[in-house]
Chain A
Amino acid sequence: MPWSNFAHLTAPPKGDEIGIKGAGSIHRSVPFAAAGEQLLPLKAELAAGHSAKTPPAAMTAFTRTQAARVRHYQVDPNFWLPAWVREHIDAKGKPDELIQKVIDRVKASPSARSLQEAQAVLNELGRSAEGTAAVRKALTKDVLRRVVQGGQ
């Protein structure tokens, strides 16, 4: 059987799961009945190609709207702290006061820009356990929900 040479690459991984414990019921996604007959994909390919036909205009239009609804979280290494943050630091303000300012700004003016700014500042603070604790202390459930709902 030629596939026996590749069995170690195509068998479902054992003891390789991601576990979760917490809120609500945790279920298993049960593989279909014939899963025992299934060889998992090898990465190897000899050649590939695409359809010789032009995609329908409706598909092209749909892909444009779909791609616009996908974000890829990425820290901007060139993010420059806004002037108000630098002023807070120069004035030797405390981290928890800065977090409160971040929250107040998002609530006052909820927008993609203010949220991205808040995300960048909070994630910079969250790079340490102390920063995470400060963020969690300030971002209570109610505050977070108001932030998520755009200041309402």
Chain B
Amino acid sequence: MSLEFAGFLYSGDNRTGQSMLVGVGHTDRYNHISAAQLTSSGLYANIHSVELITTSEADGNLVLLKNDDYSGPFAQVSDAQSAGDVWWSCWGHIGSALLIAGNKKGTSEHRISFHDQFHDKWTSFLDAKLQGKKASRQGDPTLTWEMFPANVSYLDPNLAYLKIYQPLHITMPWYWPDYAASMTYHIYLYVTGDHHLRAWGARWAYWVEGGAKSGKIADELMPEVRDGLQSLQDQVNQALTLTDLLGPITDVYYLPGRQPNRIATGGISGATTDDVTIVIEQHA
């Protein structure tokens, strides 16, 4: 076998106009097509139909994304293994694309929602940490992904990460207006040598709204955010021990949004900020 699946991107509807042949090589997982590549090929914001061709090797998933960095509103088309040659019309601004091979021959998959696994643990963990502090949680976190980050410090552009973004409200004394701030964490999921799924806290970051008090707020916030990375990693790893019950795990990959069930042949649309579907792969 030489490819998991192949596909075409077309500038015209009904598989016309300019075309680009793309695919995922045998044993590969992802093939990402950057905004720069789409631009230089005349397909940036100019894809109007797509086609997938699968074999018995894997399901083919093609994710079309609005933003240049594999984020934002998305539409995913999927072609079940052995389903053959299928195509879709598409519209909207497409700034980047991902090809993802799933449901590979000889494997079984188990899907979990990043949000369902993690949201409640995060909010209770953070609320406890912020008890009695000037900072408080501003609404819910965004639990999303950071795929192949080209320009994000401390992250590897060849890897896929989970991302937690939490807006904060900083309460100020006297009549000073309150401040907006945020904290961001990146987590990397990996499979250990003894086939367990575990997490590594890869990166922390924070932001404070500009103003005369922002430096002082940042000085107080920074050590909390920095030191929180290890606590977060411990929390996620504690949650992931539940996946040990599944048996030996061979791989993990991500699909955008909330996809509790395999699509087979069809599509799904939404936004990468909806959720991340964590797909755990095992030998069949």
Contacts and interface: CB of A to CB of B under 8 A. Distances in A.
17 contacts: A3-B169, A5-B209, A29-B268, A34-B140, A37-B139, A44-B207, A48-B204, A51-B200, A71-B24, A71-B30, A73-B31, A115-B23, A126-B20, A129-B16, A133-B16, A149-B55, A152-B1
B16 A132 contact: yes
Contacts of A16: 66, 72-73, 92-93
Contact of B2 (A75, A115, A129): A115
B139 to A, nearest CB: 4
Nearest to A13: B73
Contacts of A115: 2-3, 23, 25
A110 B1 CA distance: 8
Interface in B218-247: 218, 222, 226, 229-230, 233
Interface residues on A, range: 35 or more
A46 B218 contact: yes
Interface string A18-43: 11111111111111101101111110
B203 A48 contact: yes
Interface string B165-196: 10101100000011110101000101111000
A35 B274 contact: yes
Nearest to B60: A148
B77 A148 contact: no
Nearest to A132: B19
A127 B21 contact: no
Contacts of B44: none
Interface of B: 1-3, 5-6, 10, 12, 15-34, 37, 40-42, 53-57, 64-66, 72-75, 77-79, 84-94, 115-116, 119, 138-142, 144, 148, 153-154, 156, 158-160, 163, 165, 167, 169-170, 177-180, 182, 184, 188, 190-193, 198, 200-209, 214, 218, 222, 226, 229-230, 233, 256-259, 263-271, 273-275
Interface stretch (A62-70, A80-88, A90-98): A62-70
Given A2-B170, A51-B202, A73-B31, A145 B53 contact: yes
A50 interface: yes
A27 B268 contact: yes
Contacts of B233: 51
Given A27-B263, A44-B207, A38 B139 contact: yes
A39 B167 contact: yes
A126 B21 contact: yes
Given A16-B66, A29-B259, A29-B270, 13 more contacts: A1-B178, A13-B73, A16-B92, A23-B79, A26-B266, A31-B273, A41-B184, A51-B230, A62-B192, A63-B156, A63-B159, A126-B19, A129-B12
A47 B2 contact: no
Nearest to A37: B139
Contact of A18 (B90, B192, B200, B202): B90
Contact of B30 (A18, A29, A70, A128): A70
A150 B26 CA distance: 10
A34 B138 CA distance: 12
B91 A19 contact: yes
A44 B180 CA distance: 12
Contact of A20 (B17, B75, B148, B222): B75
Contacts of A5: 180, 209
